[in-house]
């Protein structure tokens, strides 16, 4: 029987109600979850790894990169068919994308979690974990990169985003899921291939990358604050197709002139950033000054990518991993 390495790190899937604090806390070891999965032994032999029990909001990019290395080493063993990572859903899309960029393997690496805790009616953790394990051993999931399995849907790590704060169907992809899990989490069907996969070969990352969000009237204050704090890269969740307010543009111009990597990403829920307009602060104006563009990546994922690109140490500020104009 195939072996699946399961890394459990906490999150809602491991949360119980703490009466002293009056709320949920991630405290339950993953062994308690797997004891409740019927017929688990018929799916795979699960090798459990529990590096922490914590909310995903407390994780660091360097910590997650270390876990990616650990999983990559485990997948080199011939008896291991794939891996599952169970964690909190708040940063699940970013963690999965970090694994997708750093792991060069054909074996499935499947992320999952829960939107409801074991103490709540409608706990979805067992179903999600079962679907993740089934996907990890499925030959249909080989070569698809890191995946996210939630609510019986299989998503590509690069494409998936958490679009609702609490709903069971919180995770969506603009192009729809790659496939589905059926038969109580035991049948895997893949309908399409993931779009735009990429590998960033690095074992380190640059943590000093700030994420700045544009809004009506945003000025250069957050840009200057990030630079004073020692930022080596800036990701801007820009308006429209890649535009920033004029007052913010001057701060970004100073950052680019100082050799800081600036990546323009979308604030919109979907779509691609492109340099269409040429006024001060617009995409064309930013591109002419050396800003890079994240295509259709969310700003949060563009930050993960820039951290890894700057950490790769190739000396060109990670530009080869983003779009630049003219091209």
Long-range contacts of 317-324 (CB under 8 A, 24+ apart): 317/233, 317/259, 317/261, 318/233, 318/261, 318/292, 319/261, 319/292, 321/198, 321/200, 322/263, 322/292, 322/293, 322/294, 322/295, 323/292, 323/293, 323/294, 323/295, 324/287, 324/290, 324/292, 324/293
Q: Would residue 12 show up in a list of annotated catalytic residues for this protein?
A: yes
> Of 12, 89, 102, 202, which is the active-site residue?
12
Q: What are phi and psi of 46, to 5 degrees?
A: -95, 125
8 A C-beta contact, residue 74 and residue 80: yes
8 A C-beta contact, residue 252 and residue 234: yes
**Count of other CB atoms within 10 angstroms of residue 19:** 6
Identify the helix (H) or strand (E) that includes residue 256. helix 246-257
Task: Just list the catalytic residues.
Answer: 12
């Amino acid at each position: 029987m195939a072996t699946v390495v399961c890394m459990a790190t906490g999150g809602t899937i491991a949360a119980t109600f703490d009466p002293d604090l009056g709320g949920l806390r991630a405290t339950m070891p993953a062994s308690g979850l797997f004891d409740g999965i019927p017929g688990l032994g018929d799916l795979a032999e699960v090798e459990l790894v529990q590096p922490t029990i914590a909310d995903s909001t407390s994780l660091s990019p360097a910590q997650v990169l270390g876990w990616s290395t650990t999983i990559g080493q485990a997948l080199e063993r011939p008896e291991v068919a794939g891996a599952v990572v169970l964690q909190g859903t708040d940063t699940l899309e970013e963690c999965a994308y970090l694994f997708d960029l750093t792991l060069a393997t054909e074996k499935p690496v499947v992320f999952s979690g829960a939107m409801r805790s074991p103490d709540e009616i409608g706990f979805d953790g067992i179903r999600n974990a079962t679907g993740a394990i089934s996907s990890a051993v499925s030959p249909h999931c080989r070569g698809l990169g890191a995946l996210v399995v939630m609510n019986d849907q299989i998503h590509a790590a690069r494409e998936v985003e958490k679009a609702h704060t609490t709903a069971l169907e919180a995770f969506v992809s603009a192009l729809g899921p790659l496939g589905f899990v059926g038969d109580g989490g035991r049948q895997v069907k893949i309908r399409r291939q993931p779009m735009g996969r990429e590998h960033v070969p690095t074992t380190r990352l640059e943590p000093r990358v700030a994420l700045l969000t544009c809004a009506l009237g945003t000025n250069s204050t957050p840009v200057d604050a990030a630079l004073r704090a020692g930022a080596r890269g800036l990701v801007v969740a820009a308006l429209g197709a890649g535009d920033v307010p004029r007052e913010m543009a001057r701060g970004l111009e100073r950052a680019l002139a100082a050799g800081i990597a600036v990546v323009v990403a979308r604030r919109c829920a979907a779509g691609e950033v492109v340099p269409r307009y040429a006024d001060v602060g617009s995409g064309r104006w930013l591109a002419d000054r050396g800003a890079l563009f994240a295509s259709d990546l969310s700003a949060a994922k563009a930050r993960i990518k820039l951290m890894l690109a700057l950490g790769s140490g190739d000396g060109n500020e990670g530009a080869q991993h983003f779009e630049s104009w003219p091209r």
